[in-house]
Amino acid sequence: MATLTNTKAGGRNSSGSSLGSIRAREVERFFGGALYHSRGGVAGRPFRLAPWQARDIVRPLFGTLLPDGRRQYRTAFIELPRKNGKSSLAAGIALVLLFLDNEPGAEVLCLASDVDQARVVFGEAKRLVEGSPEILQAFRPIIYRDSIEYPETGSVLKVLSADEKGIHGRNPSGLVLDELHTFSTRKEREFFIGATTAMGARTTPLTVLISSAGFAKDSICYELHTYAAEIRSGVRDDPSFLSVHFGASEKDDWTDRDVWRKANPALSGPAPFLSMQYLEDEFRQAEAMPSRQNAFRTFFLNQWVGQENRFIDLHLWDASIGHPTTDADLPGRTGYVGIDVASVDDLTVAALLMPCRENADMGRASEVLPARVRAGETSPRGPVSTVSGRRLVDAHAGRNR
């Protein structure tokens, strides 16, 4: 079962509010009675929510109300591994916001870091509409390449990406953002902040973020991942933020099949839509090739591991530590230097490798400038210098170190 927040508003939530229960059931009926799967072996079948999708996401999101009848949650952060139906669920939620939200002039945006990614959710929403006689008859939408209009309420669902200009000045009522972990640049962060702060004039704004884990721990996605974990643990209180998390913990054994089942809800239930054999095939390669291990843990177990490729298995690396090297050990020794020089948004690393005097083992010393270090701060070895212009690394300064 997923972990999620369920903060009560005014002493009542969806389980104690008849109106909330009615609204949640209405959304469930919309999925199962008006939407049909568009692809794969289930194409053409009704989109009936899996028990975990209804219980952990749809019911609390649409059925938890404030005393005045508005939705309690303004943000939903749903963390799911790959192949657990993220994009289809996000598309269905986007259509709920377009057709069922009773928001005059609703503007629902499918957001992503680039237009192709934004079209993943929108494209699925478009196929769901085109394949639904119920929607076509009841709402009479007008379907375009990158937008769906609902003329009766003057509402629209459209695509918008961080590649484009124009997020400022908009007045969205709903945001559906797929794969937030791909937002890694300053431009994408500014786009995200611009979009999520543009909804103040709406009565029932909702931002739905659905993502697997990523590799960049200096990203907006990891910040929200940490914030959500603090809410679930009770460290922070934010009644407007719904956190739903499926994934392995940092201490879980990534080779344990029970951990796989915990992280992937689509493996279970009366109609599972992820096969254990698929994960076994992916695991077989990850076990044999350390460079694929982190990808398996990140995308299929939803673990934040910090880097995409691993040249050496971390357990082997830890086991090799024998003789720590200090600066006092370096004079007069033969060493081999490797440098990875960053260009724009990256780390610059200089590593020194040399034979140890004891047992011919290998020792190493390295110097890294973390991404979090900003101008004006200092490192343990002195002040951090800055370089202006497109290229952020001064190769001469690096050589002089």
Residue 252 lies in a domain: no
275 and 333 housed in the same domain: no
What is d(CA 120, CA 111) in angstroms, rounded to the nearest whole number? 10
Residue with tokens 């024998």: 322
Helical pair 115-130 and 86-99, crossing angle rounded to 10 deg? 70
Domains identified in the chain, total number: 3
What is d(CA 389, CA 110) in angstroms, rounded to the nearest whole number? 34
Distance spanning both ends of the chain, measured CA to CA? 52
What is d(CA 330, CA 39) in angstroms, rounded to the nearest whole number? 61
What is d(CA 109, CA 122) in angstroms, rounded to the nearest whole number? 9
60 and 119 housed in the same domain: yes
74 and 212 housed in the same domain: yes
What DSSP string runs through 152-208?
TTTEEEEEEETTSS--TT---SEEEEE-GGG--SHHHHHHHHHHHTS-TT-SS-EEE
CB 31 within 8 A of CB 95: no
223 and 351 housed in the same domain: no
> 107-135, pLDDT tens digit by residue?
999 998 888 988 999 999 999 999 999 99
**pLDDT for the residue 103:** 87
What is d(CA 63, CA 16) in angstroms, rounded to the nearest whole number? 10
62 and 177 housed in the same domain: yes
End of a domain among 284, 315, 346? Answer: 315
What is d(CA 324, CA 330) in angstroms, rounded to the nearest whole number? 12
**pLDDT for the residue 386:** 53
* Residue 331 pLDDT grade (very low, low, confident, very high; cuts 50, 70, 90): confident
> 146-162, pLDDT tens digit by residue?
999 999 999 999 999 88
318 pLDDT higher than 80: no
By residue range, what is the domain housing residue 270? 257-315
